[in-house]
Structure 1
Amino acid sequence: MTSRPVRIGVQIQPQHSDYRGIRRAVAEAEDLGTDILFNWDHFFPLSGDPDGLHFECWTMLAAWAEQTSRVEIGALVTCNSYRNPELLADMARTVDRIGDGRLILGIGSGWFERDYQEYGYEFGTAGGRLDDLAAALPRIESRLGALNPPPTRKIPVLIGGGGEKKTLRLVAKHADIWHSFGNAATIERKTGILRQHCADVGRDPGEIELSVAVSGKPGESGPALLEQGVTLFTVETGGPDYDLTELRHWLAWRDEING
């Protein structure tokens, strides 16, 4: 268990909808009391018609920063390969400033090969992309510290992925939030590995918020994940309809847990 409050996020997938539909979903999710709104960083749909409607991540986050007033926003997750690290830091600082300090910098090493092929990035190997992420994170941190004006706060860094040798070591060194997938048994095993990486780099694992993608009814998976220290639970919804029924159930469960 943890002393952190339970938080609920929703990933509003920027696919199969015109932007009016996305804007409505964002407004409704914030009105419901959602803690974090996420999109994703891809150039094509990940499900349904592979050539369906789709929008870019970071220009959308800037629009969300203007549209919303309370909810935190971020990508689940930014692909490190698509932008120079210094540029990404400047983009993050700018969106943070637009939103008065509500950005979460979600980042990962990238995996969707079509994005790379059609936009001209070198796909390489999974290990190579993780090595690139390891090199980029200190550059991002350095640039955030050099910008004028600086971010409004230390922008929380969320690292997504469950790789036990490289990804979790990067989480131990750089992340404020670790986002992963799996049931309570999987999370228990991986958090044990994360604790060892934290010990290796001299980091208190309690500084890292645990985040998991969830679906279904909260009572089916929420309590067991909470017992493993997970406090950020994120559901997903896609266009064109953006059904927020599942989100409502998780928000009600959050309110029961937090009292």
Structure 2
Amino acid sequence: MAGIKCVMFVVVVTFPWTLTRGDEVSCVFMKSCILPCSFQPGSDVVIHWIRVSTRDQPNQPIHSYYHNEDKLSHQDQRFRTRTSLLKDQISRGNASLQLTGVEFQDEGRYKCYTSTITAGNKETFINVKVDVSITVSETENTIPCTSRKTNFSGLIWRFNHSQIILNQTRSDTLDAVSENWRQHVKYVSKSGSLTLQDLSVNQEGLYTCEYSTTDETYITTAFVNIKKDRGKPAKGSVFLK
């Protein structure tokens, strides 16, 4: 009986893969910012935006889009209601992400992953830096804490890590300001921003804000450099880190 020979055909389908390192994007604190990302238009578009892991935090899913709609069930809680795609431009190969209410914690490395059946896969990396724009007068300075608009459950401002400027649990009172700082603290906003007045070189140093909600705590550090002009009140320059 003659043997039966089997012939197996293996079909290998290769999808092109493109890696783009991307550029640095500067975003302004509390404003909206566009993180650019482009791809070759094609069918069955898939878009994933991810904040790349750091030593202290794993990858954070920010925004996903496939089957012609947003998919946000796995979105990191800190980015909820703050992200959107330019829907009318996706068909043209624009996967840019709009991030609103930019916070200092948003700094970092982001990955834009795109995929289509016809054009294959592409990864673009964006480094996001957060800049701050502060109006400084000769008599007072406002140091921002966070762009969150919800009332905080706890707020602590420290000076040079050791002195407590204020420690309060409500956003509408200055009762928790320490005795040594009452002449300098003018106002505390609902977002935790601290407005100082009548500054001198004694108030030059490092300011730290701990803004707590029921879910998370946000920390912002600012260095205030006091410059005194001859015959004029002290002038403060605020540098955020």
TM-score w.r.t. length of structure 1: 0.22
Between Structure 1 and Structure 2, the one with more helix by share is 1
Greater relative contact order (Cα < 8 A, sep 6+): 1
TM-score w.r.t. length of structure 2: 0.24
Greater CA radius of gyration, 1 or 2? 2
Between Structure 1 and Structure 2, the one with more strand by share is 2
